[in-house]
Chains A and B, each alone.
Chain A
Amino acid sequence: MDEQAGATSSVESIFREEHGRLLASLVRRFGDLDLAEEVASEAIEAALVHWPVDGVPSKPGAWLLTTARRRAVDRLRRDQAYAARLAVLQVEVERAAPAPPADADSDLPDERLQLFFTCAHPALPADDRVALTLRCLGGLTTPEVARAFLVPSATMAQRIVRAKKKIREARIPFRVPGADELPERLPGVLQVVYSIFNEGYAASSGPDLQRPGLAEEAIRLARILRRLLPAEREVAGLLGLMLLVHARCDARTGPAGELVLLDDQDRGRWDRAMIDEGRNLVLVALTGGPPGLYGVQAAIAALHDEAADVATTDWPQIVALYDVLLSLAPSPVVALNRAAAVAMRDGPEAGLALLDELAGEPRLRGHHPYPAARADLLQRLGRFPEAAAAYQEALDLAGTEPDQAHLRRRLQATTTPDPADT
């Protein structure tokens, strides 16, 4: 009995790993995401029945693909109209093209790149791109995707159905863009992965500050992209950035789940191996061409990770990198972070002056880090009533409970200044 339970769970872990590859291979052959998903899950079901009894086959991926393909061919034979709609014959020649060779991780060829580009296609709404990527490439079930984004399962199911309908009806292709299109299309794919990471790193609402499962999923997806697009420096930059930030994950929350800011984190709890890997990726990202958005952000994260404490952090270099970032993509959120770095380099007064210049920015309205950053600098300048007002403003805007608790503690400190703080 135990043996069987063990076999089942190993089957499930194989399924999760292989799901994206299986789906991508099926989509390439049949050109239809719905059919691919259906026969992929039928093959998994068959595996769950047979493997615990017969043992896991030596090539599980190939077993799943063969089983799924048979089911798909049966389906198409039975339903000629469906087959005609997919125009299977018309594109058969193209699909007979040799598949890329399998790599060491799996006996299935890795054809996931095309699926990444389809899921992140600019013709799909941004929310749908994220949902579809998690569903098709992350191997998350629809309820899992829904939970990750704190929306009801039915809402997420609708979103995924709508996205798949558009792919089918508008015929969004399953293909990797050519070299000339890649610079235009790759940022969309990276954006999807990064927004999955951000939702995991700084959850926008809910009881938990971080959902590391999502951050780790984003890192896993970025590793796949890195392997499939080794020459793209921004892919290295994105993976590096996420590793360098995620390395601090454990130190970012205290024992009661409360937020611990960079200044107060126990740097001994940072993941050194992750930092080393991230730093190597920064080198890749910033060598051999002009810097990209993710590469520069990764470099900033690396400078934080390399510093022994806040005081010895290389703030002039961080300010310089924010300048580069602003020149690549002007944004008030980047300007906000730059102002905070300037405050560390030149003192709170200089930082506050820069923050006040941003007061009219519509994109910072409703963004709680803005009043929180002002409050911090006002407090350091001893302007407590103004600091209290700014903390209150931030508190009214913050979405997660740990964020709110942190701001409440800081607000209290403005009325009863801690002697250690001054």
Chain B
Amino acid sequence: MKYMLLIYSGATADAADQCVFEDWVVYDKTLKEAGILVGGHSLKDLTTATTVRVGPEGDRIVTTDGPFAETREVLGGYIVIDVPDLDVALDWAVRCPGARDGGSVVVRPIAEFED
């Protein structure tokens, strides 16, 4: 079963700054060696984000993703893993460097639709 680990930075600062880069390298290597990594990306700073909506008339609404409240948790990246059950997924989430220092990792099962 595939799970997405959504990695949120804490309210205080950017998760990328908080975690030691080597921790991520080690984590990534462990995931690969365990043969469970499906994919994943880390995201650039939230100030670079742009949001698009389409209105009822088909009108295009483009906004930046602000304003940025101080307390807001920011999605900093995601990883998709393929593991047998939620307990295993939670174990991997706990080992994720993004879960430390005020950050959090949300584990969501991926919906798979049959053909």
Contacts and interface: CB of A to CB of B under 8 A. Distances in A.
5 contacts: A170-B109, A171-B84, A171-B85, A171-B86, A172-B87
A169 B85 CA distance: 10
B1 A171 contact: yes
State the majority secondary structure of interface residues on B: mixed
Nearest to A173: B85
A273 interface: no
Interface string A181-225: 000000000000000000000000000000000000000000000
Given A121-B86, A173-B85, A177-B87, 7 more contacts: A81-B114, A123-B86, A170-B86, A170-B107, A171-B86, A171-B109, A175-B87
A175 B87 CA distance: 10
Nearest to B83: A171
Interface size class for chain A? 10 to 19
Interface residues of B, number: 9
Interface of B: 1, 84-87, 90, 107, 109, 114
B87 A169 contact: no
Nearest to B90: A123
Interface of A: 81, 121, 123, 169-173, 175, 177
A160 B104 CA distance: 28
> Which among B1, B86, B87, B114 has the greatest number of chain A C-beta atoms within 10 A?
B87
Contact of B85 (A81, A172, A177): A172
Contacts of A171: 1, 84-86, 109
A169 B112 CA distance: 11
Contacts of B90: 123
B84 A173 contact: yes
Contacts of A81: 114
A114 to B, nearest CB: 12
A169 B84 contact: no
Contacts of B87: 172-173, 175, 177
Nearest to A87: B1
A247 to B, nearest CB: 38
A320 B109 CA distance: 48
B113 to A, nearest CB: 12
